[in-house]
């Protein structure tokens, strides 16, 4: 199963600066602990110097990352604050009928609320959700069409 770890990188920073990326390791660790043979893709691992990319290389990386989000089985995002890139990653997962999980305190934000199958306000809640087997059940329910969003459209 292919997992995509999306989330805030630059956020609202105006300067060339990255938001701390330690959340990616926490997500990756809990996924690998609970899903045998999981393949986890995290864009920062493939593009650690992306802030310094020239325009063409940056555009190629951006669109490649978005394709990977849409091609993954599960998109897990971390959005402690608004992040345009994270929103696009979520959209790519959603529009390609993938399981989308968001870890964010912004539970009433429309992008977070309507593009996610499950939203957890904290990393601790996400880790417990995965450790209990709830993520595996959710993925199965979505795959077998047993999942129903709380509010139908």
Instruction: Give 120-153 pLDDT, tens digit per residue.
Output: 999 999 999 999 999 999 999 998 888 877 644 4
The reply to whether 81 falls in a domain is yes
* Mean predicted confidence (pLDDT) in 27-45: 96
Q: HEC string of 26-52?
A: HHHHHHHHHCCCCEEECHHHHCCCHHH
Domain-located, residue 48: no
In a domain, 150, yes or no: no
pLDDT band at residue 17 under the 50/70/90 scheme: confident
**DSSP SS3 for 126:** helix
Is the residue at 103 inside a domain?
yes
Region 6-25: what's the mean pLDDT?
Answer: 88
Q: Is residue 152 part of a domain?
A: no
Tell me the residue range of the domain where 112 lies: 2-10+19-34+53-143
Beta bridge partners of 99: 74
Domain at 83, CATH number: 3.40.50.450
In the prediction, which pLDDT does 153 show? 41
Tell me the mean pLDDT in the region 64-72.
97
Residue 41 maps to a domain: no
How many domains is the chain partitioned into structurally? 1
In whole angstroms, what is the distance from residue 136 CA to residue 54 CA?
40
Question: How is the beta sheet containing 39-41 ordered, strand by strand?
Answer: 39-41, 2-7, 74-78, 99-103, 118-120
Average pLDDT score over residue span 2-7: 98
Question: Is residue 44 in a domain?
Answer: no
């Amino acid at each position: 199963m292919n997992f995509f770890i999306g989330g805030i990188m630059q956020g609202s920073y105006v300067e060339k600066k990255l938001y701390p990326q330690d959340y990616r390791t926490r997500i990756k660790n809990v996924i690998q602990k609970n899903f045998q043979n999981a393949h986890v893709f995290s864009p920062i691992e493939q593009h650690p110097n992306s802030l310094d990319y020239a325009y063409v290389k940056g555009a190629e990386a951006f669109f490649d990352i978005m394709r990977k989000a849409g091609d993954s089985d599960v998109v897990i995002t971390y959005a402690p604050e608004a992040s345009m890139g994270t929103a696009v990653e979520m959209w790519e997962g959603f529009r390609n009928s993938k399981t989308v999980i968001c870890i964010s305190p912004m539970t009433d934000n429309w992008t977070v609320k309507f593009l996610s199958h499950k939203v957890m306000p904290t990393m601790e809640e996400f880790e417990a959700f995965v450790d209990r087997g709830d993520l595996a059940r959710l993925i199965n329910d979505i795959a077998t069409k047993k999942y129903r969003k709380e509010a139908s459209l």
